[in-house]
A = this chain, B = another copy of it.
Amino acid sequence: MKTYEILKDLAIIIIVAKLMGLVARKCKAPMVVGEMIAGLIIGPCLLGVLKPNDFISQMAEIGVILIMFSAGLETNLQELKKSGFVALLIACAGVAVPLVCGTLLYMCFHGFAAVGSDEFFKALFIGCIITATSVGITVETLKEMGCLKGHVGQTILSAAIIDDIVGIIVLTFVLGFKDPESNTAAVTGRIFMFLAISFILGYFIYRIFKVVDERYPHTRRIPIIALSLCFIMAYVAEKYFGIADITGAYIAGIILCNVRDAEYIDRKVNVNGYMFFAPIFFVGIGLKTDLSHIDSSMIVFSLAFVLTAMLSKVIGCGLVARCCKFSGIDSLKIGAGMMTRGEVALIITNKGLGMKIIDPSYFTAVILLIIVSSIVTPILLKFLYSKSPDPEPIHN
């Protein structure tokens, strides 16, 4: 391939992704859905203008890393401390129940497999995919109704953040055990070692970074050093600890989320993200999605998958909220608010594809889940809030 050929690929991806993203937004769906559909349209599935290639998958890899880094950077540790125990419980239930339900769902369709077998991991992985809440749509809906600062809104927000952290730890374990040569002790040891080293070294890096940041605030070197840290942690995680690179990038984000320029770094990373890498990742998913494998059983599975994913969150988070003395309808609001899925579900699916755990046909189910959940959530939330408005919005 001549080097300049990549310019054509880039131009097509960027412009079609933006166009379809805008169309998706007009239809009140998330922009990423539009971008994936763009990939489906220009990919081998339909027009065949573009095929997945090394360059696209490398750029997409950077895109994923940037998205996870940005998610880490946007974590508000202060907020988490305030919201405390209740949010933690809701988040844990919001990970555990979908994980179990997803695993059982796959086994219902493909038979129960022995713990540790390949099929078992496949089932567990399907569970993993539906653990990650994407709270963006919920936040927008609550903001629009002026209910984000209410008790329910704040609980959803905190639970969703903890949900990400718990979810990524679960994913790390599942992927760690996937290796046929792995044994429980070694994998657990490796993961704890990585987390321990990250947090000890991370603390020192954070202190150093804080000093540099206070000395040279808002200079170019700040996002550049941050980005290097992110790439190094992602690389070291994958190469030396057998942990997903996205985990490393996410933790790098968390390490830096408390420096004063965290928002500045996030903005610069996002400019790179939205102009180049993120569209390439989402379009790339569309390119890789293989609709030819889809038969009636896959369609039935996809529908069951969407239903399981949505209900398991509502039930898991809702029940725990109810146990924590939220009213019935407020518990439902929390469950509904945690129901949406987004880019992280795609990133996990993509990871599973890269590790040959699942095949590309599962993208269809995940895309469907993202579309349906992001359409249903705002409607459901608006309905619930119309039945029972926030009694006492907290202004802080």
Contact = CB atoms under 8 A, between A and B. Distances in A.
Interface of A: 3-8, 10-11, 14-15, 18, 22, 54-55, 57-58, 61-62, 65, 220-221, 223-225, 227-228, 231-232, 234-235, 238-239, 245, 268, 271-272, 274-276, 354
Contacts of A8: 231-232, 235, 239
B225 A18 contact: yes
A14 B224 contact: yes
A65 B11 CA distance: 12
B268 A224 contact: no
A3 B227 contact: no
A6 B223 contact: no
Nearest to A221: B18
Question: What is the total number of copies of this protein in its complex?
Answer: 2
A234 B4 contact: yes
Nearest first, the 9 A-B pairs at minimum CB distance are: A11-B231, A15-B228, A7-B235, A271-B271, A7-B231, A4-B238, A11-B232, A3-B61, A8-B235
A55 B1 CA distance: 12
B274 A271 contact: no
A138 to B, nearest CB: 22
A62 B239 CA distance: 28
B7 A245 contact: yes
Main secondary structure of the interface of A (DSSP, over half): helix
A347 to B, nearest CB: 13
B55 A4 contact: no
Contact of A7 (B5, B57, B65, B354): B65
Indicate the member of A10, A65, A268 with the most B CB atoms within 10 Å.
A10
A272 B223 CA distance: 12
Nearest to A229: B11
Contacts of A223: 275
Given A15-B224, A15-B225, A223-B275, 19 more contacts: A3-B57, A3-B58, A4-B234, A4-B238, A4-B245, A7-B231, A7-B234, A8-B232, A10-B231, A11-B231, A14-B228, A14-B231, A18-B220, A18-B225, A54-B54, A220-B274, A227-B275, A271-B271, A272-B275
A376 to B, nearest CB: 27
A395 to B, nearest CB: 30
A145 to B, nearest CB: 25
A354 B3 contact: yes
A10 B221 CA distance: 15
Contact of A61 (B4, B58, B61): B4
A22 B272 contact: no
A338 to B, nearest CB: 28
B58 A235 contact: no
A354 B5 CA distance: 14
Contacts of A268: 271, 275
A3 B8 CA distance: 22
